[in-house]
């Protein structure tokens, strides 16, 4: 495995905290856009969920490269964020490991291939950090617990107050908030269903159609059309 990909990590229980980051309500587009653009001026790091944000979700887990499908526009979004100088990490729950469906080696290999395709298109993921546990394992790293974010902060010297989490599930937003990060929803993956469950505590969390739309909002520019990136 190339040296750059040996930084893939499995992490375990870590401390927790809590903080909220209010923005204007997502249904109010002009104030919301202005709030995001204002925050983007100090944005240094983005944590991306994997399944449902970068690639298409599967109810039976993405178990192999043959099952991996990039969401149209996701790779382009990552390349534009990289060009803008934003540090990018992938934070993902991969319970398929503890369910005995995949080995850590298989997950590492899949992540490495994903990162390599992204690199070939001008993007850079510093590390893919994942939790192997099932919900019933009671760990401190499976989102919505914030352990993976604290690990990234410690390992890679990330200032979490200058970081944004982009996810398709409430667990992504909750984990980011508990770590002191801002959050943004995308409607790909589980997003369209999850956004229906938003309560008043999520008022102000911005919502974008997909990762490319989120990137356009953050950078304040049109980054072009969506294209499907082949994986074979």
Give the global pTM: 0.83
Q: What pLDDT, on a 0 to 100 scale, did the predictor assign at position 4? A: 33
C-alpha span between 217 and 195 (Å, rounded):
19
Point out the residues of the chain with pLDDT beneath 50: 1-34
Q: What is the pLDDT of residues 171-225, one digit of tens each?
A: 999 999 999 999 999 999 999 999 888 888 888 889 999 999 999 999 987 666 6
C-alpha span between 115 and 118 (Å, rounded):
5
Provide the token pair at 103. Answer: 């080995």
Angle at 179 between CA 103 and CA 88, to 5 degrees: 60
Q: What pLDDT, on a 0 to 100 scale, did the predictor assign at position 47? A: 98
C-alpha span between 60 and 189 (Å, rounded):
13
Q: What pLDDT, on a 0 to 100 scale, did the predictor assign at position 220? A: 83
Q: What pLDDT, on a 0 to 100 scale, did the predictor assign at position 36? A: 61
Whether 207 and 195 have beta carbons less than 8 Å apart is answered as yes
What SS3 state is found at 99? coil
In sequence order, what are the residues at sequence separation of 6 or more whose Cβ sits closer than 8 angstroms to the Cβ of residue 217?
A: 33, 36, 37, 206, 208
Domains defined along the chain, listed by start = 3-219 (3.40.50.1000)
Whether 43 and 226 have beta carbons less than 8 Å apart is answered as no
Which residues are catalytically annotated? 49, 51
Beta strand pairing call for 163-167 and 127-131: unpaired
- Which of 10, 13, 45 is CA-nearest to residue 128? 10
């Amino acid at each position: 495995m190339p040296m750059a990909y040996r930084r893939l990590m499995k992490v375990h229980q870590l401390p927790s905290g809590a903080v909220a980051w209010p923005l204007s309500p997502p249904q109010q587009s002009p104030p919301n856009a202005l709030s995001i653009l204002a925050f983007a001026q100090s944005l240094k790091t983005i944590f991306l969920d994997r399944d449902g944000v970068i690639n298409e979700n599967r109810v039976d887990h993405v178990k192999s490269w043959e099952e991996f499908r990039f969401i149209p526009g996701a790779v382009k979004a990552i390349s534009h964020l990289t060009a803008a100088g934003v540090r990018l990490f992938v934070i993902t729950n991969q319970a398929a490991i503890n369910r005995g469906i995949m080995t850590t080696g298989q997950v590492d290999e899949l992540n490495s291939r994903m990162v390599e395709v992204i690199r070939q298109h001008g993007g850079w993921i510093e590390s893919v950090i994942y939790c192997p546990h099932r919900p019933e394992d009671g760990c401190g790293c499976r989102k919505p617990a914030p352990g993976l974010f604290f690990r990234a902060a410690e390992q890679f010297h990330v200032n979490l107050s200058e970081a944004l989490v982009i996810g398709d599930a409430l667990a992504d937003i909750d984990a980011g908030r508990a770590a002191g990060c801002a959050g943004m929803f995308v409607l790909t993956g589980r997003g369209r269903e999850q956004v229906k469950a938003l309560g008043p505590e999520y008022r102000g969390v911005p919502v974008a159609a997909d990762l490319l739309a989120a990137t356009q909002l953050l950078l304040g520019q049109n980054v072009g059309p969506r294209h499907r990136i082949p994986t074979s």
